[in-house]
Every structure is written in structure tokens, then in C-alpha cells.
Amino acid sequence: MNRPWKTLSSERLARFEIFSVRADRSVSPDTGFEKEWTILETPDWVNVIPRTPEGKIVLIRQYRPGAGRHTVEIPGGAVDPEDGDPMEAARRELLEETGYRAQRLVHIGTVEPNPAFQTNRCHTYLAEGAVRIAEQDPDPGEEIEVLEAGEEEVRRMLADGTITHALVVAAFFWHALRGGAAPRVDVSPVEE
């Protein structure tokens, strides 16, 4: 039951700036059922939770066209081919988006954003000892406001829906497993 499906054919349908679309036809090794799948080929991504020597978390606010509004997030972005690996991408994105550099980067977790149809993974790094060393150098079209918040304020933002980006919430899950900011959960029944 856990054997992978065999790919019978794969065709690239379109290529865009940040992803490609392909159609794969696969067959189940158990039932012989054939299905065509739509797959988004996307690069791996990184998220960075920068923590200053004073214990503040560095956040960013930027416009997100998919949501049609500004969102509060953490620095992050695609792993570019010239990065070599996700840690280098994390270092680059932190500096570009915030002007901060960390004394130490620690990989704290990886998720698959949507394995039903996406090929990428999102790697989260804790950037310890983050201090501002330069001006921001964002990509064209990125207008990023840098914020610092205490752990309690980050907990509040996660709990009250200020932070809604799913990959950022996942990053704070990994952070919480290490004892960092996460909302306190009331496990009492929800009233409808």
C-alpha cells in the first residue's frame, strides 16, 4: 500500500517566473488506476525567525497581492540556484529584506507547503543574535517595513490572526518546539 505510483508520462505545460506547471499521468501499483495530476514545480523556500540579542523577534510587513493586503511575516523567500543551499538563501534573504545579520543560523524544521500538487519544501531557520548591519536591499517591487516584537507580542499576533501566512505559522510551530513564541491554546470546547 505504500509503494509509489509509477509515472507514465510527464509534460511541462507552462513556465512562469516563480513556478512551472506540468501534467503527470501515473498508475497505482496496487489497483492499476490511472490518473492525470497537475503539478506545480516550485523552488524550495526559506523562512527566517531572527532573534536579536535582546530577545526581540524581527518581523516584516509587506503587501501580498494574493491576499490583497499587507501581512505581518518573517523574512524569507525562494532558494535561488546561486545560493547553493537553503542556509545560504536564509542568510541572503535576512540581509536583503531587513538589513540584519545573525551570529548563528540554526535549521529548526522543514515542511512541504502542499504535497498534493507542489514539489517544494520550506526550510525554517532560527537566526540567533540578529543585529542590523546594513540598509535593506529588497527585490524590485518589495516594499518591506521592518518591525521588532517581543515573544508575548508575537504570541498575541499568532493567536489573534495578525500573522496568517501558513508557512510563517508553521515556522513558529518549529520555534515553539524549541521553547519560543507560540500562542497559548485554550483546549476547552468551541461554542457554536
Tens digits of per-residue pLDDT, 107-119? 999 999 999 999 9
Q: Which residues lie below 8 Å from residue 128, measured CB to CB, with a gap of 6+?
A: 51, 102, 103, 104, 105, 106
Dihedrals φ, ψ of 86, to 5°? -60, -35
Question: What would the CATH number be for the domain defined by 45-177?
Answer: 3.90.79.10
Alpha carbons within 13 angstroms on the beta-carbon side of residue 45 total 23
Residue at grid coordinates 523552488: 43
Arithmetic mean of pLDDT over the chain: 93
Report the C-alpha gap between 61 and 72 in whole angstroms. 4
Report the C-alpha gap between 150 and 55 in whole angstroms. 7
Domain residue spans of the chain: 6-41, 45-177
Could you tell me the three cell numbers for 30? 496496487
pLDDT band with cut points at 50, 70 and 90 for residue 179: confident
